[in-house]
Amino acid sequence: MPGTQSASVAAVTESRTHLVEGLMQRFGHLPREAVLKEDLLRTGIDFADSALTDNLDGEVKPKSYFIFSFDQKPLAELGAAAKRRPPEELALTGGPYALRRTIVSVRVNPDSPYRVEREPESRALTLSLEGRLIADVGLPPMPEYYRHELANGKTVMETAPTIQWGYLIYLTVLRLCQYFGAHEECGFCDINHNWRQHKREGRPYTGVKPVADVLEALAIIDRYDTTKASKAYTLTGGSVTSTVDGLAEADFYGRYAQAIEERFPHRWIGKVVAQALPKADVQRYKDYGITIYHPNYEVWDKRLFSLISPGKERYVGREEWHRRIFDAAEVFGPRYVIPNFVAGVEMAKPFGFAAVDDAIASTTEGLDYFMSRGVTPRFTTWCPEPTTPLGRDNPNGAPLEYHVRLLDAYRETLAKHGLKPPPGYGVAGAGNAVFSVSSFMDTLAPEEVPVEEAVPA
């Protein structure tokens, strides 16, 4: 019965648009851009071949796979997108929601109702939802510094990729985590799998980046980034529970900061994402020249923390992790300690909250706990990567309502404690924000993070 089939297909295909527009209406005090961006981040995007890049040979900046895969299918199932990379980010404008410029990180999902393709006649790129055009799409231009290689033939994209429309240099200097296997790896994290899949596909993917390579790549960026669009670097990678190159975690990551600050003093804001370390180690980060410290707590709820981040529970423990966040605030100043959590994993089956109300109440309790002491967490939107336990069991991620209500709760809790958004993320506000893996910066008012705070000295 073709008629019945098309009627049921219509009912299904209408549903996502209704969901998104219903939430835009219900939360009319939040920017529409933020609602759409959250849905794109949790769902991923299907790319037509015509919307893929020519890797490093073209005019568009390709997706660098800067730490995790951030794809909703394994590389081997991405079809043409595995050979010709998609762009790193999209800039969405216009359409029926009159979008102000919205920067969204690219997560590939061939099954997504969102699709980017090129109009056959005008050649313009568009984003559609369930076949209806909803935005014009701009792509990041290939930066000049990506066109130059290191002396040893490595690419700048592999060694020192930039994200957030060029604002942040993302230095994943250790491509593996020493929390290993089901009893230690965080349930949402595919860092170790991503390393394996890129190696299997024969892509260049360095486990431990030599300091000299990082400096050389940064020198190329410094030379060709003539508009000084790059403002910050993040040093990160997996947790170090023993040593790497004979160094424990603070000295392993710290040696990069030390080398960078010696060679390029104050050229960029230095950030490090690492475990919550004892105060003396944290002081070493500061001494090495780091400005912002991200000891990510991942999920607030006590039971969920031990189940979702078993390695963190085992090596440090939840209460100690939190205590060390406040110790770090004494070293860096509370505004400069910005722990991340992964928004959405608290609703992941089989352990998570079943009701949005309960998940929001729990996460808000965590926000309140930190913000009442002057520490402003930030969050990234969970991408359910299929090779992780939580992604495998929750291919659709968390409900969009959860993500939208979290934006609201975050904004309210900041206001309640009289805090500003965290520094080092660029200018806030819809139309300005460049933070591409969550819309929390799109949601805040522009005057809350003026230029001088976006780029602290």
Tokens matching residue 112: 């997504």
Cis amide bond preceding 350, omega within 30: yes
Nearest distance from C-beta of residue 182 to ligand SF4, angstroms: 11
Nearest distance from C-beta of residue 392 to ligand SF4, angstroms: 15
Q: Which amino acid is at 331?
A: V
Interaction mask 329-368, ligand SF4, x per CB under 6 A: ----------------------------------------
Closer CB to ligand SF4, 186 or 221, in the complex: 186
Q: Which amino acid is at 334?
A: P
Considering only 185, 225, 251, 453, the residue that binds ligand SF4 (CB under 6 A) is: 185
Nearest distance from C-beta of residue 191 to ligand SF4, angstroms: 4
Nearest distance from C-beta of residue 435 to ligand SF4, angstroms: 19
| Cβ atoms 143, 224 nearer than 8 A | yes
Closer CB to ligand SF4, 140 or 344, in the complex: 344
Nearest one of 212, 214, 262 to 236, comparing CA atoms = 214
- DSSP class per residue in 30-73: S-HHHHHHHHHHHH-BEE-GGGS--GGGSSBPBP---SS---SS
Considering only 113, 166, 238, 352, the residue that binds ligand SF4 (CB under 6 A) is: 238
| Cβ atoms 46, 127 nearer than 8 A | no
| Cβ atoms 81, 73 nearer than 8 A | no
Closer CB to ligand SF4, 230 or 388, in the complex: 388
- Give the helix, strand, coil percentages of the chain, each rounded to 5: 40, 15, 40
Closer CB to ligand SF4, 294 or 403, in the complex: 294
Nearest distance from C-beta of residue 238 to ligand SF4, angstroms: 4
Closer CB to ligand SF4, 82 or 345, in the complex: 345
Considering only 102, 162, 239, 439, the residue that binds ligand SF4 (CB under 6 A) is: 239
Closer CB to ligand SF4, 311 or 429, in the complex: 311
Closer CB to ligand SF4, 189 or 331, in the complex: 189
Query: Of the ranges 37-45, 185-193, 211-219, 394-402, which one interacts with ligand SF4 (CB under 6 A)?
Result: 185-193
- DSSP class per residue in 258-307: HHHHHHSTTSSEEEEE-----HHHHHHHHHHT--EEE---B--SHHHHHH
Tokens matching residue 41: 């981040």
Nearest distance from C-beta of residue 449 to ligand SF4, angstroms: 26
Q: Which amino acid is at 12?
A: V
Considering only 34, 157, 169, 191, the residue that binds ligand SF4 (CB under 6 A) is: 191
Nearest one of 125, 126, 111, 120 to 81, comparing CA atoms = 111
Interaction mask 134-173, ligand SF4, x per CB under 6 A: ----------------------------------------
Which residues ranging from 259 to 318 are in contact with ligand SF4 (CB under 6 A)? 311
Nearest distance from C-beta of residue 190 to ligand SF4, angstroms: 8
User: CB 183: neighbour CB atoms within 10 A?
Assistant: 9
- DSSP class per residue in 309-339: -HHHHHHT-HHHHHHHHHHHHHHH-GGGB--
Nearest distance from C-beta of residue 185 to ligand SF4, angstroms: 4
| Count of residues near ligand SF4 by CB under 6 A | 9
Considering only 129, 163, 177, 274, the residue that binds ligand SF4 (CB under 6 A) is: 177
Residues 13, 17, 23, 26, CA torsion sign: negative
Residues that bind ligand SF4 (CB under 6 A): 177, 179, 185-186, 189, 191, 238-239, 311
